[in-house]
Amino acid sequence: MRRHLLSSVMVAAVGLLFHHCTDSTSSPTPSVELYADMNTSTVRQAALLDKGTAAQGITAVDSIKIERVRILVRRLKLHGSDSDSSGKDLKTDPFIVTFTAQQQRVTSATIPTGTYRWMKLEFHRLSNDEADRLYNNPAFADFIPPERYSVIIEGKVYTRGSTVPDSFTYRSTVTANVALKLDPPAEVTANSVLGLVMRFDPAAVFTTNSGIVLHPLDPDSRSIIEGNIRAALKALKR
């Protein structure tokens, strides 16, 4: 009798365990995977310029080759609507988004089901406490000097009459809250994985409205470039 009772208990326990495992694997939480890339790495002159031509004293160049863009970001979120003030956090601590010609994964997170219309993030400069905490992290080494940069762009600039390009590193301290619209909105259902891409457009940064390519190291171009950086990102479904 005891042996029969013990067998019944074991069968019931195995049945409950199987039922629990079936339930837990049949409805996984939906998630999002975020990637980053550039839409192009080369910025070319859109207009034919006479020798020495400049726009309001700004030095123009033939083309720019962007090799890498790094943006220090804090608090990356997805929002369902314009009135959704809380949103869903994907990352809260400071992190670096790297843009190159090759698409690369930035982060992943679980998210509730629903419709998402906005990706919001902050171009960030490290605080004193953050700089102290991240001082020995090599990924943040270029962002911790006294200037505490938020954006670093590396590449080569080609000028008229020269066959050898000049390497450059453009460093910015711009800070901004950036809202990127998802058009069409992204639908997240049960068991789904939402793939998103954050895309950097170098031409949006280094080109004037008239199509003139700006020299990254020309002081007269800096104010235009700084303003353009805020509008260089787009969010797309992957």
CB proximity list for 160: less than 8 A, separation 6 or greater = 51, 61, 62
What pLDDT score was predicted for residue 211? 86
Distance CA 8, CA 13 (A): 9
What pLDDT score was predicted for residue 47? 57
Sign of CA dihedral 144, 149, 151, 156: negative
Our CA dihedral for 158, 161, 163, 167, rounded to 10 degrees, sits at -30
pTM of the model: 0.82
Domain limits of the chain?
Answer: 30-237
What pLDDT score was predicted for residue 105? 96
pLDDT tens, per residue, the chain with 238 residues: 444 444 444 444 444 444 444 444 445 789 999 999 999 999 988 655 554 445 555 666 889 999 999 999 999 999 997 777 788 999 999 999 999 999 999 999 999 999 999 999 999 999 999 999 999 999 999 999 889 999 999 999 998 777 789 999 999 999 999 999 999 999 999 989 999 999 999 999 999 988 889 999 999 999 999 999 989 999 999 9
What pLDDT score was predicted for residue 60? 65
How many CB atoms are closer than 10 A to CB 76? 22
Q: Can you name the residues that pair with 109 across neighbouring β-strands?
A: 32
Sign of CA dihedral 120, 123, 128, 130: positive
Written as one string, the DSSP assignment of the chain is -HHHHHHHHHHHHHHHHHHHHHHHHHSPPPEEEEEEEES-SEEE-SS---TT-EETTEEB-SEEEEEEEEEEEEEEEEESSTT--S-EEEE-S-EEEEE-SS-EEEEEEE--SEEEEEEEEEE----HHHHHHTTT-GGGGGG-STT--SEEEEEEEE-TT-SSPEEEEEEE---EEEEEEEEEEEEE-TT-EEEEEEEE-HHHHHB-TTSPBBPTT-GGGHHHHHHHHTT-EEEEE-
The distance of Cα 68 from the centroid of its chain, to the nearest Å, equals 13
Distance CA 48, CA 211 (A): 10
